[in-house]
Amino acid sequence: MSLALFPLATLLFPGCQLDLQLFEPRYLDMLGRCLKQDSSFGIVGIIEGREAGIAARDFSMIGCEALIRDWQQLPNGLLGIRVEGGRRFRVKNSWVEADQLISAEIEWLQEEAEQPLLEQHADLVALLQALAEHPLVDRLNLNSSPTGQQMLANQLAYLLPFSIAEKARLLELNNPQQRLAKIQTLLERLQGSLGA
């Protein structure tokens, strides 16, 4: 299966929402095709390069499908869209089109069944609820009362200030318990570096 890619300085996670401003012709054309065909595109994280201009050559091989949920003309004249994370995927092969849009052959990653939250996840749930009170997060209509481990892991991995490489490793993990354990490890490392 082929998918148009949108490399960004962040990664999208399933069930999470992201607001984008489109101004480059390649992405406006991509959006037009997606709307006409009722299709989606993929978001991958930029490892080296920039979001605008020449196509980024170095990006994460793990990404998330972006489902278009809303669009509008913004006061600054740009087109704003809101996307929601769909399925995770792995990039098998990619190429740059003549207009600098990156297309890729991808394979969808299997999702494990949602698992109930456990008592040991209480601190992570409290962290998510605290993050949800931030005005920028509040605009994303985040459900700060997650119903399972996968939802909690996706939202925390999306919102916390981890590197693109760390977020890609989290996105790649199929098991929600492993993802939450890795988030806990990354948080402890982050807190250690802030306390030093």
pLDDT value of position 108: 97
Burial of 119 (0-12, 13-18, 19+ CB in 10 A): exposed
Where do runs of H (alpha helix) occur along 39-140?
Answer: 122-132, 135-138
pLDDT value of position 191: 79
pLDDT value of position 41: 96
Which domains does the chain carry? 2-108 (2.30.130.40), 119-195 (1.20.58)
Of 65, 60, 67, 71, the residue nearest 7 (C-alpha): 60
pLDDT value of position 154: 95
- Cβ proximity of 49 and 59 under 8 Å: yes
Low-confidence residues of the chain: pLDDT under 50: 196
3 state DSSP class of 10: coil
pLDDT value of position 75: 83
pLDDT value of position 136: 75
